[in-house]
Amino acid sequence: MQRLSESLFQKFSTLVYREAGINLHDGKKALLEARLAKRLRATGIASPKEYLEFILSEEGREEYVRFFDAVSTNLTFFFREPKHFEFLEKVALPEIVERNRRGGCSRIRIWSAGCSTGEEPYSIAMTVLAALEHPGRWDFRVLATDISTRVLSTAQAGVYDKAKLTHIPPALRQRFLEPVSNGGPSKSYRVSRELMKVVAFRRLNLMDPFPFSGPFDVIFCRNVMIYFDKKTQESLIQKMAAYLHSGGYFLVGHSESLTGLKHPLRYVKPAVYRKP
């Protein structure tokens, strides 16, 4: 593929920022070129200029979605940043259970924003189902959203290579994953029906209006805002906080911080915030 001219790079960058809030600064030019090269090979389109024209046309709407699949970075694994799951089990969930007990409510809602290939929401579901007494008595659901249709397809299938299961505690692995026979030497595992019943996957661009009402008891928005500039981060936090239950928790990645941003949440501990 021919190298991106500066003007064409700016056009792609502007499009990605406007539509998805992702800030493709100059240091991301090589990444964009690599992702574009794959899409050009897949579509048979000759140049980045022609590709841009195509995805902005009416006939290119499906490829427009695939383009955003390609530029969104997805790195995840089960029980990534385990302290968050310990916090969910030991602190957040007991508070939610007690509040619901007092109010005569059985509803528990958690949102995994930027869920990628599903390891995070399934980890959340494992943690909650294992910690609840009589989980069948609870109206528990995890909403898992991502901008990428490609990763959502993997997440909905719920099948993972054995190597992906390394960080799952043995008791949870035994309860919630079952081996899949694929006829080859490698071994795959499928998440159980118990998990699939409580996790709903939906495509969502965080820059768009949210098509749900909430409120959520906990929102996981980890390693998502690192791709946004400060203005977009502030806007997104304020928008998401409106969907958080009073007393609910907002979790960001341990490499992230809300310091210096205007938002209505209170700091609890590193990477954990709470709505008053």
Among 39, 69, 80, 146, which one carries the catalytic annotation?
146
Among 35, 39, 109, 274, which one carries the catalytic annotation?
35
76 inside domain: no
Same domain membership, residue 137 and residue 20: no
Same domain membership, residue 241 and residue 149: yes
Contact 140, 169 (CB under 8 A): no
Residue 2, pLDDT score: 66
Is 146 a catalytic site residue? yes
Range of the domain at 30: 6-71
Same domain membership, residue 110 and residue 194: yes
Q: What six digits make up the tokens of 274?
A: 């709470």
Whether pLDDT at 19 is above 80: no
Whole-structure pTM value: 0.81
Is 203 a catalytic site residue? no
Whether pLDDT at 263 is above 70: yes
Q: What six digits make up the tokens of 187?
A: 């071994």
**DSSP 8-state symbol, 209:** P
Domain boundary among 71, 102, 122: 71
CATH number at residue 18: 1.10.155.10
Same domain membership, residue 146 and residue 20: no
SS3 at position 79: coil
Beta strand residue intervals within the chain, DSSP E: 107-113, 139-146, 159-161, 177-180, 188-191, 199-203, 216-220, 244-251, 266-269, 272-274
Same domain membership, residue 166 and residue 30: no
200 inside domain: yes
Residue range 36-74, pLDDT digits in tens: 998 999 999 989 999 999 999 988 888 887 887 788 766
